[in-house]
Amino acid sequence: MIDTVISKIEVKNLFKVFGKQQTKALELRKAGKSKSEVLKQTGSTIGIDNVNFTVRQGEMFVLMGLSGSGKSTILRCLNRLLKPTSGSVVIDGVDITKLEKKELREFRQKHMAMVFQQFALLPHRTVLDNTLFGLEVQGKDRDQNIESAKKALEQVGLKGWENKYPHQLSGGMKQRVGLARALCSNTDILLMDEAFSALDPLIREEMQDLLLDLLADSDKTVIFITHDLNEALKIGDRVAFLKDGALIQVGTPEDIIENPADDYIRKFIQGVDLTRVLSAKDVMKKSSAHVRLTSGPAVALETMKKHGISSVFVVDKKMRYKGLLSVEQAIKLRDQKVQTLENVEFDASPVVDHNTPISELLGLFATSSLPVAVINEENRLLGVIVRSSVLAALDQNEGGSDNV
């Protein structure tokens, strides 16, 4: 979750033209000529077409699109591997399109690390030496940074593999080395170009989970490129949809699913696995059927009668979840003349964090018929989920009608 709205990267009126007559092509495009007309008149291709977006500090920002949509070209403009034809890329207040070669090299070393699709490991170097490579490029002393590299390898699950070589690693392990190298560089921006697309599906999901876990308490800003919408919606705080070099829509995963900007995006989301995109907070209902610890079993029974239910959630005065009280237990406590619920041991009941994916809830409902309590990081009760609300949410999204 983004705790700040500070702008880290601002892309303004970005154009990238490929071909010999770039100036003329740009003038024609800005004058309203179509890309095909520009190509016909100049032989030049508009690769990036007046793109504007802002990336917040600490955000996981995903550039999403098919091959040829311009997403990788934009990424290369962000680190000036490609020089934009027009427009600006402002990072921490610095327009990097105006930097000279030496300034640019120093800026990259300080601010940016990159994870590539094809791992980009040096075959003659060990895992540890590959991890240290980014620091060596920055001119930092190898021996002073060995411990940092070892810590990064441990973070990505490769402790004990420091002296192995790339040919001894699986694809997933090679990508972990690439991620460790980027983390070890200690930059504040991480650029990831189709980083997981070469991996098998199961390994790919593991790497997505690892990335989210590693960055959970980090303030790093990540630009992640993918053509896989399920991946984009799973990891992105916001997703930018690109088509033919133009930006079509920017929004949160929920925005994209619930309010697609056009038919192009609408077709994309038809194949989305909603069980991995929607989470508990999207399908829960606010729970008015709860009682406080200071209440007694008679109040609990009256609440159940009022709402037509056979159990009720119990919370303390700060709405922190304490347990589920069934009608059977409430009757027993009433008969025992219990006055409050403060010292009661409640029945076991399912509880989930509000960010839990629906895919995990489906398994939960397969083993329990009890209502599920939805809580936040402070254990406060946010709502309740029953089996029918999950099915209804999936049905509504498939039909493209109601919002969750």
Mean of the pLDDT values across residues 326-341? Answer: 93
pTM: 0.70
Q: Give residue 257's pLDDT.
A: 84
Q: What Rg do the C-alpha atoms of the chain give, in angstroms?
A: 26
DSSP reduced 3-state for 155: helix
In the predicted structure, residue 404 carries a pLDDT above the cut 50 = no
Mean of the pLDDT values across residues 338-347? Answer: 89
Mean of the pLDDT values across residues 101-130? Answer: 86
pLDDT tens-digit series, residues 32-51: 999 999 999 999 999 999 99
What percentage of the chain exceeds 70 in pLDDT? 91
Q: Which residue has the tokens 């989305």?
A: 272
- Tell me which of 73 and 307 has the higher pLDDT: 73
Beta partners for 353?
A: 375
- Confidence label for 57 from pLDDT (cuts 50, 70 and 90): very high
In the predicted structure, residue 230 carries a pLDDT above the cut 90 = no
pLDDT tens-digit series, residues 264-291: 888 887 767 666 667 788 778 887 788 9
Task: Look at 146-155, 196-205, 299-308 and tell me which has the smallest mean pLDDT.
Answer: 196-205
In the predicted structure, residue 293 carries a pLDDT above the cut 50 = yes
Element housing 117 (H / E)? none
- Tell me which of 283 and 352 has the higher pLDDT: 352
In the predicted structure, residue 255 carries a pLDDT above the cut 50 = yes
The number of beta carbons lying within 10 Å of the beta carbon of residue 25 is: 25
Question: How big, in percent rounded to 5, are the helix, strand and coil portions of the chain?
Answer: 40, 25, 35
In the predicted structure, residue 399 carries a pLDDT above the cut 70 = no
Measured distance CA(55)–CA(42) in Å, rounded: 33
Q: Give residue 119's pLDDT.
A: 67
Cα 164 to Cα 51, 127, 131, 321, 340: the distances in Å are: 43, 6, 12, 48, 62
Phi-psi domain of 50 (left: phi exceeds 0; alpha: psi -120 through 50; beta: other): left
Element housing 237 (H / E)? none
56 Cβ neighbours under 8 A, 6+ residues apart: 2, 4, 5, 6, 7, 8, 221, 237
Contact status, residue 56 vs residue 2, Cβ threshold 8 Å: yes
Cα 314 to Cα 275, 349, 354: the distances in Å are: 29, 11, 18
Element housing 202 (H / E)? helix 201-215
In the predicted structure, residue 2 carries a pLDDT above the cut 50 = no
Q: All domains of the chain, ordered by start, with CATH?
A: 7-272 (3.40.50.300), 281-398 (3.10.580.10)
193 Cβ neighbours under 8 A, 6+ residues apart: 72, 75, 114, 115, 116, 117, 225
In the predicted structure, residue 228 carries a pLDDT above the cut 90 = no
In the predicted structure, residue 389 carries a pLDDT above the cut 70 = no
The phi, psi pair for 261, rounded to 5°, reads: -70, -30
Mean of the pLDDT values across residues 228-250? Answer: 91
Structure tokens belonging to residue 185: 């560089």
Mean of the pLDDT values across residues 13-20? Answer: 94
- Mean pLDDT across the chain: 86
Task: Look at 58-72, 127-141, 204-218, 322-336 and tell me which has the smallest mean pLDDT.
Answer: 127-141
